[in-house]
Amino acid sequence: MKNRPFAPVGPVESFVGIGPLGDALRQLQRSLAQGQSISLLIGENGSGKSHLCKYLATVETARHRPVYLSTAGFHTRRALLQAMLYELGADYVGLTEQEARLKLLESARKLQAGGRKLLLILDESHLLSSKMYEELRTLIDHTPTGQQQIQLVLAGSMELEEQLFAPELQAFNQRIGAQIVLESLTLQQSAEYLEARLHWAGAQTSSQAFSEEALEMICRACDGNIRCLNQLADHSLLLAYVEEVSPATPEHVKAALKDLKALPLQFSSTGIAEVESSGPDLSSTAELEALEELDSEPVSSPAPASPTVPVDELELLELFGQPESLATAKVAEVDET
């Protein structure tokens, strides 16, 4: 693979618009196109908000000049304004609060003259204080020409939604045009996410990196949380690499889970137990197709003294994780021929 598929901080281009991630991206773009002043993106920790916001900043460049701030934990208005000016590439050192505000509004005015708007994207917005909300409201309300100059996207945890119920934020709330809740991935979407990241990294198929049982165990253990998916998949691949084993097996996933226990990640023990207590699903399309291939392939006549199964069939049996009884049956089938 040419890239590390599940790096903790992946590059923007590794964004995968699957399921709720793609839906949230389209809703945000629609809200911006409609001219909504404020759009909210709310999700649990590890749901992929930050990566989505960074990607939004790279695709909304035709109509906007995006400014992405990775945190909203500023203690003063001046610090907030200076951070925005820094991302714009403007001078910010030594400015007073009012000077920084006017310089930012001047940048927005120049952008408007060129047919674009200033797009402020604030991550971790649940860290904003009431006075910061008021500062942001003042900025988006600045329309000296009667045309909108600044739009705002706030991304944060579920705390953000609770904070906005505060009475002092009523004026701010009235300007919210869209509220998008980022849901967790389903089991199928989790598998598609892992496959898409592997494909981005250069793998042809997920089976190059994970056995089917290992992939399922990762998906069940992470319960749709993208941060957990990235961490567990990355560490499982690392353990397999150290042992020079490919693809990674359920044993590598279990060892990775044990190593990651010290981190504040929430894995589903129920999902892991389900995978460990059940065999592979023989009804899956991939396995049925593999079995059909095995049945259709000609079987070489073995030497009478030492009957064997062709190597390619053994590899397929290992790849698709068939039970031992099925492998025994295939050997018996060869014996009969």
Q: What is the mean pLDDT of residues 288-293?
A: 42
Same domain, 214 and 305: no
* pTM, two decimal places: 0.79
CA 288 to CA 310: how far, in whole Å?
Answer: 19
CATH code of the domain in which 100 resides? 3.40.50.300
Residue 328 identity (one-letter amino acid): T
Q: Which CATH number goes with the domain that contains 232?
A: 1.10.8.60
Contacts (Cβ under 8 Å, ≥6 apart) of 277: none
As a whole number of angstroms, the distance between CA 52 and CA 263 comes to 23
Same domain assignment for residues 39 and 59: yes
Q: Is residue 242 part of a domain?
A: yes
Query: Is 144 a member of any domain?
Result: yes
| Overall number of domains in the chain | 3
What's residue 287's pLDDT?
40
Q: pLDDT digits over 197-255, tens only? A: 999 999 988 999 999 999 999 999 999 999 999 999 999 999 999 999 999 999 999 99
45 and 123 within one domain: yes
On whether the CB atoms of residues 27 and 178 are closer than 8 A, the answer is yes
CB-based contact 158:21 (threshold 8 Å):
no
Residues 86 and 160 in one domain: yes
Average pLDDT, the chain: 84
Position 129: which residue type? Answer: S
| Residue pLDDT, tens place only, 57-97 | 999 999 999 999 999 999 999 999 999 999 999 999 999 99
Does residue 153 sit within a domain?
A: yes
Last residue of a domain, one of 182, 198, 230: 182
Residue 134 and residue 62 in one domain: yes
Backbone Cα Rg of the chain: 26
For 274, how many CA atoms within 13 A lie in the half-sphere containing its CB? 13
Is 241 contained in some domain? Answer: yes
Structural domain span for residue 143: 20-182
Distance CA 201, CA 169 (A): 44
How many CB atoms lie under 10 A from the CB of residue 263?
12
pLDDT tens digits for range 139-197: 999 998 888 999 999 999 999 999 999 999 999 999 999 999 999 999 999 999 999 99
Are residue 68 and residue 150 in the same domain, yes or no?
yes
User: Closest by alpha carbon to 126, among 64, 67, 42?
Assistant: 42
**pLDDT exceeds 90 at position 328:** no
| Same domain for 245 and 332 | no
Which of 182, 199, 218 is where one domain is finished? 182
- H/E stretch holding 190 reads helix 187-201
Q: Is 7 domain-assigned?
A: no
pLDDT at 277: 64
Give yes or no: residues 305 and 215 share one domain: no
User: What is the pairing mode between strands 38-43 and 64-69?
Assistant: unpaired
Beta-carbon contacts of residue 92 (< 8 Å; ≥ 6 apart): 81, 82, 85, 86, 100, 103
For residue 170, the number of C-alpha atoms closer than 13 Å in the C-beta half-sphere is: 2
Token readout for 169 is 């934020």
Q: Are residues 41 and 160 in the same domain?
A: yes
In a shared domain, residues 51 and 163: yes
Listed range (29-33, 59-63, 84-88, 280-284) with the worst mean pLDDT = 280-284
Q: Could you tell me if residue 13 is inside a domain?
A: no
- The pair of three-digit structure tokens given for residue 284, joined into one six-digit string: 């899956």
pLDDT of residue 136: 97
